[in-house]
Chains A and B, each alone.
Chain A
Amino acid sequence: MAVEDHSAPTSFVKKYIFSQDHKVIGLQYILTALFMAIVGGWLAVMIRTQITWPEKAMVTPENYLSLVTMHGTIMVFFVVSLALVSGLGNFLVPLMLGARDMAYPFLNMLSYWTVVPACFLVLVSFVVEGGAAAAGWTAYPPLSALPEAVPGSGLGQTLWLLAMALFIASFTMGGLNYIATVLNCRAKGMSLMRMPLTVWTYFMSAVLGVLSFPPLTAAAIMLLLDRHGGTSFFLPSGLVFNNEVLAHEGGTPLLFQHLFWFLGHPEVYVLVLPGIGITFDLIASFARRPVFGYKTSVYALWVVGFLSMIVWGHHMYVTGMNPYVGEYFSIATVLITAPFAVLGMNLVASVWRSRIRMEVPMYWALGTVAVIGLGGFGGLFLATSISDIYFHDSFFVVGHFHLMIGVVTVLSTFGALYHWFPKMFGRVMNAGLGKLHFWLTYVPMVALFFLMHLQGMSGLLRRYYDHSIYEFQAPGRELALVITILTYAAFAAQAIFFWNFFYSMFKGVKVGANPWNATTLEWTAPSPAPHGNWPGALPVVDRHPYDYDPAAEEDSDYKPQGVVA
């Protein structure tokens, strides 16, 4: 194994800055994401404030579109992707597999340091001329291609595209690393069908990411060329701005949408699947029984992964693409509910005949299960092309995708941080504050995105600076104030987490290697895990990952998946 050759670093820079240790890199990602989350969350607060009191005109319409665009971009790519997929994944995958590090430690370091300038470009774009990108996080041309179309499509959009290119490069390096690590660096006895579901989901997530990101890279390059190289990949002839026809001809804006969503849809699963895997592991650890349907869950993951690659067109039902193509996408998309129902059923059944310990991570895990149900069923309304005609680009969509790639991912990330914090720092986070944080996050977040579904039912359209001039949007507007207050509450509640996280890092109660009496391999390593993860020999795996028995004595109701010789 390549990882054996890097010895423990001694200097501060090698240990904490340019580290090749997966645990340090994981934490770097997580801290970066936490910082970006404050930015992205603040943008959400500003968006809500503007659309709740449009008459106050807190921001200009062009700034509002930048807020919307950058909130989406930052949250999807620089918060959830970084914290959940790159951050926790980096920390967990080698530890759960019984590996000393990722397969390619240097590549790992490189991937983190590639995303740092991307974050920088995103932040800088707010202060360039014309402001940050304003064409939506989906960046549809011609709006995103032409500075004539919207001020944010000037330098701001260029920086956005460069940041995306860097992000994709980083994420692809990370994905390849996960795949290589899972395939090559498992401990002795750790067959694929003995891997914890968390690792399975990171593996599927990485496979999907590696397969689906290249088309977006191509789209980004083509869009850059349309903007600066005089090409017309996405620009048809006859575009009129200020009474002048542009010289572009021969392109089609639909091509961009296909390339974007070919990534965009699998990306949803890149983010959500690890959240589901973590939820499985947390539930097993605190329900004290084996996961129900481990095998069927793994198969369901493969089916989800496959289907997710062939359904991107459901984002485009009303674009004018051939409706029969749309009908195919509809038939295929709704099938995803089948493997998802298997995952959902297995999560619920994993609580059946259990003996629940209500530690803090379990609150988050159980809470996540319900949101997977709510968000998942909501997807059917959008996947069915006929009902999507009404819901497309309404707040129903906003509520739905926030539940899935916002709430499921954020809840499971928090659950994971509370759960694995001891492995990171050798201490636990404060339980009382953890529960308070849970209630003040869960209730407002679920409530506000649920209410957005109702707004969408009533016809409220998304990305509107001001809904008040329309009569048909009046019923939906009535819910705006409540939603905004809930947003403020959820945002403010994160202060509790930040305090708990950083305070506990230095002052939390010290715990041993396995504070939760959990089975998976990472708990056989010391807390915090040292460089190389296990001071001596690596553990040898002799059983499945969830050997709990709720019928046994409470303190001996589990058998670790592996033993350290």
Chain B
Amino acid sequence: MSETTSHPRSPGFGIVFFLLGIVVVGGFGVGWLPEVKSAHGHGIDGVIRYLLGTTGALFFLGCIVLGYFVMKYGRGEAQSGAIVSNRTQAIWAIVPVLVMCAISEVGVLVMGLPVFAEVYGEAPDDAYEVEVVGKQFEWLVRYPGPDGVFGEVDHAKVHETRNPLGLVKSDPAAQDDIVVRGKVHIPVDRMTVVRLRALDVIHSFTVPLFRVKQDTLPGYTAYTQFTPEEVGIFELACAELCGLGHYRMQGSVIVESEESLKNWLSEQEPWL
């Protein structure tokens, strides 16, 4: 069945796809995800691992098949039976449709919905509440103080050094509010709800080790909630381009025991 060799052949090209499959699957397999430190984060990592496993297997399979085809059919031999019925072609369309619908919707619904409930569900009454406000280029953190209520703010009163959040003096609830730059103190093993606002442009509150990311939009109050599982200091960064200092909008989340948190809070002076 050998044919004329007047046309260029390169069946060895198929090896490219074997290599690609191995490199990609191996590369992802190294385990780049940093160890998660929040309760819902395990669910997020679970979805990621599920997708890595399923799509990784399919990609690898696809690479093997394509590579094999190129090696087998790249030699220049005549092939019969290339033309197949419409029915066969339809079946080979239905198969990938069913497979991909199943894989992808299992990811979103079966794997994803329980995590969705953790991330966006109703927070328990005893959740710890703190406010983080994004501005160019720092995070302002407000604690409600002994009364547990965030006082009124008025952006017209904002002054970078004198009153960075624009707390309203006449509001009694604002009197005991504590304002700190860049340090979010929260308790371990208890859910924290972060109230997120922005003063100027869009920022995004992200704590990668907690798998937390939520934009802060001027004009809106957004919320994000998570339960840290370990005492320690975790980096807080901005994930939405917000200007020149975007890259240095660094903060930290300090997770501590209830007791040491209480001590720290009692040492803070109210801003006003």
Please give the residue numbers on chain A whose beta carbons come within 8 Å of chain B beta carbons, in ascending order. Answer: 61-62, 65, 135-136, 140, 142-143, 146, 149-151, 236-241, 243, 245, 251-254, 287, 289-290, 292-296, 299-300, 318-320, 323, 327, 330-331, 334-335, 337-342, 344-346, 348-349, 351-359, 363, 366-367, 369-370, 373-374, 377-378, 380-381, 383-387, 389-390, 392-394, 431, 446, 450-451, 453-455, 457-459, 461, 463-467, 469-472, 475, 549-552, 554-555
Q: Is B190 an interface residue (CB 8 A)?
A: no
**Which among A238, A241, A331, A367 is the interface contact of B109 at CB below 8 angstroms?**
A331
By size class, the interface of chain B is 35 or more
CB of A472 within 8 A of CB of B218, answer: no
CB of B100 within 8 A of CB of A338, answer: yes
The 3 A-B pairs at the shortest CB distance, nearest first, are namely A236-B219, A334-B104, A457-B32
CB of A240 within 8 A of CB of B199, answer: yes
Among B159, B204, B243, the most chain A Cβ lie within 10 Å of the Cβ of: B243
**Which among A237, A243, A352, A475 is the interface contact of B158 at CB below 8 angstroms?**
A243
CB of B78 within 8 A of CB of A469, answer: no
> Can you list, as one digit per residue, whether each of B104-140 has a CB less than 8 Å from chain A (1) or not (0)?
1101110110011001100000000000000110000
**Which among B8, B108, B156, B250 is the interface contact of A334 at CB below 8 angstroms?**
B108
CB of A380 within 8 A of CB of B96, answer: no
CB of B241 within 8 A of CB of A136, answer: yes
CB of A348 within 8 A of CB of B65, answer: yes
Q: Is B254 an interface residue (CB 8 A)?
A: no
Nearest chain B CB to A333's CB is how many angstroms away?
A: 9
CB of A143 within 8 A of CB of B44, answer: no
CB of A469 within 8 A of CB of B48, answer: no
Nearest chain A CB to B152's CB is how many angstroms away?
A: 13
Distance of A319 Cα from B218 Cα, bound (Å):
11
> Could you say which residues of chain A place their CB within 8 Å of the CB of B245?
61
Q: Is B180 an interface residue (CB 8 A)?
A: no
Nearest chain B CB to A413's CB is how many angstroms away?
A: 20
CB of B215 within 8 A of CB of A318, answer: yes
Distance of A241 Cα from B198 Cα, bound (Å):
12
Known A366-B13, A393-B240: A551·B79 in contact at CB below 8 Å: yes
> Could you say which residues of chain A place their CB within 8 Å of the CB of B147?
none
Q: Is B257 an interface residue (CB 8 A)?
A: no
CB of A458 within 8 A of CB of B82, answer: no
> Can you list, as one digit per residue, whether each of B205-238 has a CB less than 8 Å from chain A (1) or not (0)?
0101101111111111010000000000001010
> Could you say which residues of chain B place their CB within 8 Å of the CB of A252?
217, 219-220
Which residue on B lies nearest to A470, using beta carbons?
B235
Nearest chain B CB to A519's CB is how many angstroms away?
A: 14
Distance of A290 Cα from B85 Cα, bound (Å):
12
> Could you say which residues of chain B place their CB within 8 Å of the CB of A458?
32-34
CB of B32 within 8 A of CB of A149, answer: no
CB of A353 within 8 A of CB of B81, answer: yes
Interface-facing stretch out of B87-95, B170-178, B181-189, B259-267: B87-95
CB of B243 within 8 A of CB of A150, answer: yes
**Which among A354, A357, A378, A459 is the interface contact of B9 at CB below 8 angstroms?**
A357
CB of B200 within 8 A of CB of A384, answer: no
Known A150-B243, A389-B44, A551-B80: A348·B62 in contact at CB below 8 Å: yes
> Could you say which residues of chain B place their CB within 8 Å of the CB of A341?
96-97, 99-100
Which residue on B lies nearest to A292, using beta carbons?
B89
**Which among B51, B70, B86, B101 is the interface contact of A384 at CB below 8 angstroms?**
B51
CB of B217 within 8 A of CB of A550, answer: no
**Which among A238, A290, A337, A451 is the interface contact of B82 at CB below 8 angstroms?**
A290
